[in-house]
Amino acid sequence: MSGNFTVTLSAQDFAAANWMLVRRHWVRRWGPGLVIGIGLVFGTLLVLAARQNHPDMGLRQGLSIFAKGLMFSMLFIGLQLFVLLFFILKSTRRVFDGLEANEQQMEFSHDAEALTVTANGKTERFVWSSFRRVLEDDNFLLLCRTEATFFALPKYQVDAATLAALKQAVASAR
């Protein structure tokens, strides 16, 4: 179980790999429920505070305050999630384009103990246990070291046997 391969990662590939990671992030999956839940709590707190200061407040006024609190908090938190997931993702292409080249070539070699990566004249060796998980879709295999750092391997550039060996190496090291 050893071998070598080279991957050339374009800005489009890098953005697509980041989008794959973002699609699986908990904020994207649970974000809408979180926004609604926080909005309900905030609206309820506003109504309780208003009732404390104005005990003669009617139901219509209470519902109005609740609706305003709900809408404000949903708008604010929803905007924050939008910025987090959309603008940061869109900025990846600009960051990648700002590098010295539009494409980055990386050379990989793997054996039973580790994955060795050479890029921009620097070589690093990563033992298999340093990878937390493997994410995969139709186009990419991501070898994730943390929630935000990964090696993106476009499937059209790496043969299926090598991809299977990499997945097996990460799985057996856990």
**Predicted confidence band of residue 166 (pLDDT cuts 50, 70, 90):** very high
pLDDT, residue 127, reads: 96
- Stronger pLDDT, 149 or 167, i.e. the higher one: 167
pLDDT, residue 104, reads: 77
If one counts the domains in the chain, the total is 2
Domain end point (choices 55, 77, 98): 98
**65-95 tens-digit pLDDT:** 899 888 888 888 878 777 776 776 666 666 6
Q: Are residue 135 and residue 152 in the same domain, yes or no?
A: yes
DSSP conformation letters of 53-99: H-TT--HHHHHHHHHHHHHHHHHHHHHHHHIIIIIHHHHHHHHHHHS
Range of the domain at 120: 3-10+103-173
**22-72 tens-digit pLDDT:** 777 666 677 778 878 888 888 898 899 888 888 888 889 989 989 988 888
